[in-house]
Structure 1
Amino acid sequence: MPDRPRIVLATAPAFGHLYPLMPLAEALVRAGADVHIAVGEPFLGRLPVPTTRSLPPGLTSLKDLTRAVVSEFPAVRDDPAGRWAPALFGAVVPRAAAPQLRQSWAREKPDAVVHEALFPAAGIVADELGVPSYTFGIVRWAPFVGTIRSVARAALGDDPRPPWALGEPQPALDVGAGYVDPFPVTLQGVAGLPAARVPIRTAAWAERAPSFETSLLARPAGGRQRVFVSLGTVFNTAGSLRTAVLGAARTGAEVLVACGADGDPAALGPVPDSVKVHRFVPQALVLPTVDAIVHHGGSGTMLAAAQHGIPQLVVPQGADHFVNAAAVTDSGIGLRPDADTPEGIAAAVGRLLGDHRFRDAAAAVATEIAAMPSPDDVARRLLEAF
């Protein structure tokens, strides 16, 4: 390994895939590595470290690749829950990414690769080059996470089976040199975890924030409770968001709403005076000021709230939201509503605000997260191992 090793962190072009990697990327820079991010067009040239392409020009987002799934594998419609992820992350994304990565890394070979768990092409190309690689967990551990590299390798070869059949029988776990895992054991479980697990403390990260009202960082006057509502960047439809907002408002708490950079506050329609709607909310700064959060169940939001010891109401919309909702309820740090209606949301938020057991359980998980190795600790460990 050279004195200043070239480390590439590779990811699909989506906030929830890229952002979890960034604290480690910056820690590797502080540790002396030459760090590059392989990512798609929306993020090229706008990150605090150099970027290279992870996908060919023209594919600007996961939405582009999602459209390709239905076109190439129409049978995913017959069983979306079982077929969508293998088709997208085990076949369509690797087939788009692998040629681009081979071309880029043939010119400048990395000394090591860290790739997010749903971007297995990076690990496959690293193997081809004899370069060590680590998998970074952006979702809760499941057998699919440990076998997706094998599924993608078969999809890139001559195997004629559809991608959802490539994991049968289940291949051996393949996470490269190790599995970097930001999930605390309480939210993760330990069944089936790879022996080479490298825990890392979750850390909030965002690109340079647009301007925001500093009043967002102040707790409400008179001891009034505060609830934060966010449905993320992908599933934040106005209808679902309005339902969550109106339900939270029924508790009498102040409700702070993030409708997303592409959202329109006016699309929510009339809301009570206690509701404050913004396109952008600096989540990492706001979370210490809230008493509960209502969210979609994305891994990043779940971990950020857990890090701050905040009781959570999860209203799952898709993707990994349902398994995250199960982790939240099983650990006692939050709930799912009995019904996705304003009444159901109000009842669940009321329980979170009024029952100290949720906050006590959330505080215990926050303590567990605080004891995990920091990104700087993990960066040093990785560089020593390469």
Structure 2
Amino acid sequence: MRVLFAVDPSIAHLYPMVPMAWALQNAGHEVRLASFGGFTDRIAETGLTPVQLGDAAWAARVADDPLEPNGPVDAQRYADIMGLNAEEREYWYLFYQYLLTPISDYLRVDRPEAQELVKFAQDWKPDLVVWDLTQAAGAIAARACGAASARLVFAWDPVGWSLDRLAGHADELRDAGLDENPLATVVRPLADRFGVELDQELLVGQWTLDTAPPGLSLPTTTKKVPLRYVPYNGAATVPQWLLEPPTRPRICLTLGESYRRFIRGDFDRTPMLLEALAELDVEVVATLNDVQLDGAEPPANVRLVEYLPLNLILPTCSAVIHHGGLGTFQASIAANLPQLVCDTLESIMLRFEEPDAAEDGTQDDIGVYRSGVEYGVRDPEEAPKETIRWVMPAKKLEATPISNYVISRGAGVRLNHHANTVSELRETIAHVLQDPAFKRGAQAVHDVWQALPGPADVVPVLETLTAEARRRR
């Protein structure tokens, strides 16, 4: 069969899809990965076949007219009407304030990219379209060409979860003057353009490839196909120093690839972690760049590498310190490592407010997100001046559910740079290295992960589901 993947133009979204795409290709199926602008070069590096959508020079996140996230007032109004508790509100904010923006960006009918995806599907005629949470155009492409439609989620599904909550409170939301289904509203213009009926299946697919380990997944009414998250981190030559066994415990310190493209200074977390590690008898490999360091000097026991695939580093380590990102969390499970997850436990709700201006009239961008900014691509002084400055939480969006999961299974701890001193952070790191209980907890989580069906195991399931879905068309 022919399988088309609709991919967000970022490696954080591409890499989790690569093992499933390769499994299908290795089984003899034709596979194409469609994405925006110049990102197709990154797809080609994986050995898979890209389809370029639109102008190679254009990227939605650094456009002159970027879309802004939804504000905090309506986000809270929705949460109040739906009766969400404190934990549930975080999943709602993730959908309403964070995911709806890129979903809308990649559905723009005033741009050619989404329409080119649909037209390519109509010409190429795939049997199955697989799309991630930000690529709702993939569902429209599938419906427009008669293909089966499946989403691939990377640990949990805040979209499906939020749609279920919205449906249960539709009357109350309408009475309050709120949109009862904001996802349907952003999908509708492109669906109408191609004469595609907008229904629940269009919004969530016919089934969801669910990579969440048991106990982490959100409850939804969607049909789920379990899938083991097999880490793919890109290709690189193994440096000579990594081939030599470490002479003391090695720790990987990684704070993610995505935030350093948009947030300067890493919320002042990096200097505290480096100071805490400096007095420990350990070797540290830190995948940090200048935006994250923001002038911080690494101590003598820290080796800086701006980027190196985690699957090369982690097998040589005794523990990993990370930002709570889904990909790093899953890669650490696969490597069977105790995890120290950076998490401040604060809400992820986005707020817009102007930080106090400095004496020279400039403003500090540490911990601030601005639409249209990407460091190394379009710095703040080059972005539209009218864009809002959004104050971010000093943590990764999914850090709290990830840290709670790790702690509940005895596989690691939380590092809170807001609540803990440098000395306390150092003691916590040392404790994880010295207490064998954390290694046993990591082993138990690894065993559960290993028992999930891998990409090759899921290929026959997709073949059967696709055939059944196409017979029903």
> Is the shorter-chain TM-score for this pair beyond 0.5, marking a shared fold?
yes
Which stretch of the first structure deviates more once superposed, 284-293 or 175-184? 175-184
**1:326 and 2:408 correspond:** no
- Show CA shifts across 1:325-359 (max 9, x none): 33223333222224345334323212211222222
Q: Which residue of 1 aligns with 2:308?
A: 281
**Secondary structure class of the residue paired with 2:147:** coil
- Show CA shifts across 1:298-344 (max 9, x none): 10000010122211111142333333233223333222224345334
| Counterpart pick for 1:335 among 398, 404, 413 | 413
Residue identity in the other structure for 1:333: A
Q: Which residue of 1 aligns with 2:28?
A: 32
| Counterpart pick for 1:207 among 213, 217, 234 | 234
**CA distance in structure 2 between the partners assigned to 1:265 and 1:155 by the alignment:** 34
- Show CA shifts across 1:228-262 (max 9, x none): 101111224554333323323333211111115xx
Q: Which residue of 1 aligns with 2:82?
A: none
Deviation at 1:379, TM superposition (A): 1.9
- Show CA shifts across 1:63-122 (max 9, x none): 33797222xx67369869734225314423333653232232233222211111232221
Number of equivalent positions: 360
**Secondary structure class of the residue paired with 2:324:** coil
| Percent of residue pairs bearing the same amino acid type | 24
**CA distance in structure 2 between the partners assigned to 1:56 and 1:319 by the alignment:** 30
Deviation at 1:57, TM superposition (A): 4.8
Q: Which residue of 2 aligns with 1:180?
A: 209
Contact 1:298 1:321 in 2 (8 A): yes
Question: How do 1:213-232 residues align onto structure 2 when only pairs under 5 Å count?
Answer: 213-221=239-247, 224-232=248-256
Q: Which residue of 2 aligns with 1:155?
A: 186
Is the alpha carbon distance of 1:77 and 1:301 closer, same or farther for their aligned partners in structure 2, counting shifts above 3 Å? farther
Is the alpha carbon distance of 1:307 and 1:381 closer, same or farther for their aligned partners in structure 2, counting shifts above 3 Å? same
Residue identity in the other structure for 2:257: T
Deviation at 1:264, TM superposition (A): 7.3
Is the alpha carbon distance of 1:271 and 1:185 closer, same or farther for their aligned partners in structure 2, counting shifts above 3 Å? same
Residue identity in the other structure for 2:326: S
Which 4+ residue blocks in structure 1 deviate beyond 6 angstroms? none
| Counterpart pick for 2:449 among 333, 344, 369 | 369
Contact 2:249 2:283 in 1 (8 A): yes
| Counterpart pick for 1:132 among 144, 148, 169 | 148
**CA distance in structure 2 between the partners assigned to 1:277 and 1:184 by the alignment:** 31
**Secondary structure class of the residue paired with 1:123:** helix
Residue identity in the other structure for 2:417: A
Deviation at 1:288, TM superposition (A): 1.4
TM-score, reference length from structure 2: 0.68
**Secondary structure class of the residue paired with 1:256:** strand
Question: How do 1:283-322 residues align onto structure 2 when only pairs under 5 Å count?
Answer: 283-316=310-343, 317-322=395-400
Residue identity in the other structure for 2:59: T
Structure 1: any 5+ residue segments left out of the alignment? 159-170
Is the alpha carbon distance of 1:103 and 1:143 closer, same or farther for their aligned partners in structure 2, counting shifts above 3 Å? closer
Structure 2: any 5+ residue segments left out of the alignment? 77-89, 165-180, 190-199, 344-394, 467-473
TM-score, reference length from structure 1: 0.82
**CA distance in structure 1 between the partners assigned to 2:240 and 2:295 by the alignment:** 23
Is the alpha carbon distance of 1:136 and 1:68 closer, same or farther for their aligned partners in structure 2, counting shifts above 3 Å? same
**CA distance in structure 2 between the partners assigned to 1:67 and 1:259 by the alignment:** 30
| Counterpart pick for 1:15 among 5, 11, 14 | 11
